[in-house]
Amino acid sequence: MWKDFINGLLKLAQILTRTNIWNAALLLLLAFFCWLMADITMAYIPYNTDVGFLRIKQEYISIDQWRIAFFIHVYASMWVLFAGFTQFSKWLLRNKPKLHRSLGYIYVVDVLLITGPSGLLMGFYANGGLLSRIGFIALAVLWIFFTVLALIKARQKKFKAHRKYMILSYAMTLSAITLRAWKYAITNTMTLPPMDVYRVVAWLGWVGNLVVALWVINRTKNKKIPLKEREIL
């Protein structure tokens, strides 16, 4: 009996490797923030213009292009968060290659044709003046740029470059989460005027992500991609 018990513990230890625990923790964290994003999004359904973020954007509600871009951006962002996250699942890549590829195309189409352009347009109307506007416009441009390169490298079968630009693209996607996290942290630890906070998070929300993404890329640059994964891509 003790032998079976010990063998069971050894098998469990093999399953619960440090990498698996880290990946599970990241998955749960992302799921939590996605739930928060979904909760925020629900407040605007079907077409509420006096809730949440829109309460400080009433002067722009009458501008058709801004209003349309805002609602498109809000409704489509949840899909891009989910679809992008699946692209880093090795299990999905190896066991469900068609699903991996389909979700990848959903991510690319969403960023290039929906959330990216709408985010870019919204950037021109950002709160906080010129500094904030430049920050959000730069975010949207880099988001689209990295995603285009990720698609091109995938089509060219340049696997390491594809992975690199997908990491950079998704780092920009996650700014939807990190921007809110930084805003919460700053407003609960410092006393700053609201517009100053907005100017800070307009840059901190994505520059920090970019630094982390470059660190991850540099840390894994010598990692070889298995032949099976190359064939899938």
pLDDT tens digit at each of 233 positions of the chain: 445 544 554 454 454 455 566 666 766 777 777 777 777 777 777 777 776 677 777 777 888 888 888 888 888 887 888 788 777 777 777 788 888 888 889 999 999 999 999 999 999 998 888 999 999 999 999 999 999 999 999 899 888 898 899 999 999 998 888 888 888 888 888 888 878 888 899 999 999 999 999 998 888 766 655 544 444 45
Cβ proximity of 206 and 139 under 8 Å: yes
- The reply to whether 76 and 20 lie within a common domain is no
Give the closest residue to 164 by CA, choosing from 147, 186, 144, 179: 147
Tally of CB atoms within 10 A around 4: 8
- The reply to whether 29 and 53 lie within a common domain is no
- The reply to whether 24 and 109 lie within a common domain is no
- The reply to whether 188 and 115 lie within a common domain is yes
**Number of folded domains that form the chain:** 2
- The reply to whether 69 and 111 lie within a common domain is yes
pLDDT of residue 18: 53
- The reply to whether 34 and 57 lie within a common domain is no
| Torsion angle in degrees (nearest 10) through CA of 196, 145, 32, 44 | 70
- The reply to whether 183 and 86 lie within a common domain is yes
The residue range of the domain holding 26 is: 1-42
The H or E element spanning position 28 is helix 18-42
- The reply to whether 154 and 75 lie within a common domain is yes
- The reply to whether 171 and 70 lie within a common domain is yes
What residue type is assigned to position 135 of the chain?
Answer: G
- The reply to whether 18 and 56 lie within a common domain is no
Give the closest residue to 194 by CA, choosing from 127, 99, 135: 127
Cβ proximity of 34 and 79 under 8 Å: no
- The reply to whether 161 and 175 lie within a common domain is yes
Q: What is the pTM of this model?
A: 0.80
* Chain position carrying tokens 């190896």: 94
- The reply to whether 49 and 29 lie within a common domain is no
Cβ proximity of 189 and 127 under 8 Å: no
